Copies of this chain bind each other. A is one copy, B any other.
Amino acid sequence: MPRVITAFSNPLVKRVRALRDKKHRRDEGMFLAEGLRILAEAEAAGRLPRYIFHTADTAGHPLVRRLSAAAETAGGEAIETDRDILHKLSGKDNPQTVLGVYDEFATDLGAVDRSRADIWLVAQSLRDPGNLGTILRTGDAVGAGGLILIDDCVDPFSVEAVRASMGALFTQQVARARWPDFLSWLRAGEGLLVGLSLDTSEDYQAPRYPRPTFLLVGNEAQGLPADYAAACDVRVKIPMQGAADSLNAAVATAVMAYEVLNQHRRG
């Protein structure tokens, strides 16, 4: 049976609400995910919530019942609450009716098994959580193994990143590393490192991309540092016909990733 919480002053409500803040996520080692669809993806990926919040009218939903039971069996807790509290927890005007609190995952580069996939996405100093989540979602779509975050990227466990990932945070492997450590790890195994750069004339459709290919995209405003680009095996650019000189980072990553997938699909 779910615990019922209807008071804003409830300590658990305060703790969960605080998870929208990075410092509190780090202290608690937990993060928020909202909505039936994302919680279903998490379940399919073998992740159960530590806490599952739902409203009275979703208590009977099969997934909510199953997740609540599974979470309780695993030592977690199901909590019935109201929309006002869900609004407070999610910060959205129109909150989802189900919210899960999950343990953060380890993000050690050493745990990445590159043989698991033919495409890996790598982002450097990414600042926008929506871009990060969208890149995870694209990674899922192209069958990438995961996303490796280089240097100081936005937190992949932020509410906005989890939301934009549409559940791909649970299906993609996420790793974090400094640039020299990533390079050492990369060079200890197979794979072509392809840098998206504006300082090259090489068209992104020209190279043949092996399995695995690592696609590296830089910060939204600055792009890749020159020495990072120089360390790549190949530097490519996506052609642009207009007045602007760059694409949105998540868009550029997707256009590149689909080129690699399309080459692999052609065999």
- Name A's B-contacting residues (CB within 8 A): 41, 44-45, 130, 134, 137-143, 164, 166-168, 171, 205, 238-244, 246-248, 250-251, 254-255, 258, 261-262, 265
Contact residue among B44, B167, B240, B251 (Cβ-Cβ distance under 8 Å from A251): B251
Q: How far, in angstroms, from A166 to B168 measured CA to CA in the complex?
A: 27
Q: Which of A164, A247, A261: most chain B CB closer than 10 A?
A: A247
Decide yes or no: A243 and B130 within 8 Å by CB, A137-B248, A164-B248 being known contacts. no
Are A168 and B254 within 8 A (Cβ)? Answer: no
30 A-B interface contacts by CB (under 8 A): A41-B243, A45-B243, A137-B247, A138-B247, A138-B248, A138-B251, A140-B240, A140-B241, A140-B242, A140-B243, A140-B244, A141-B238, A141-B240, A141-B247, A142-B240, A142-B241, A142-B242, A143-B242, A167-B243, A167-B244, A168-B242, A168-B243, A168-B244, A171-B242, A238-B258, A250-B250, A250-B251, A254-B254, A255-B255, A255-B258
Decide yes or no: A251 and B168 within 8 Å by CB, A41-B243, A143-B242 being known contacts. no
Note all chain B residues with C-beta closer than 8 A to A250: 134, 248, 250-251
When C-beta atoms are compared, the residue in chain B nearest to A143 turns out to be B241
Among all A-B residue pairs, the 7 with the closest Cβ atoms: A143-B241, A140-B242, A141-B240, A251-B254, A171-B243, A134-B248, A255-B258
Note all chain B residues with C-beta closer than 8 A to A141: 238, 240-242, 244, 247
What's the minimum C-beta distance from A160 to chain B, rounded to whole angstroms?
11
What's the minimum C-beta distance from A74 to chain B, rounded to whole angstroms?
21
Are B244 and A166 within 8 A (Cβ)? Answer: yes
What's the minimum C-beta distance from A11 to chain B, rounded to whole angstroms?
30
Question: Given A134-B250, A138-B251, A142-B242, 18 other A-B contacts at CB below 8 A?
Answer: A41-B244, A130-B130, A137-B248, A137-B251, A141-B238, A141-B240, A141-B241, A141-B244, A168-B242, A168-B243, A171-B242, A238-B258, A241-B261, A248-B250, A250-B250, A255-B255, A255-B258, A258-B258
Note all chain B residues with C-beta closer than 8 A to A166: 244, 246
Are A251 and B134 within 8 A (Cβ)? Answer: yes
Q: How far, in angstroms, from A240 to B41 measured CA to CA in the complex?
A: 15
Note all chain B residues with C-beta closer than 8 A to A238: 141, 258
What's the minimum C-beta distance from A146 to chain B, rounded to whole angstroms?
11
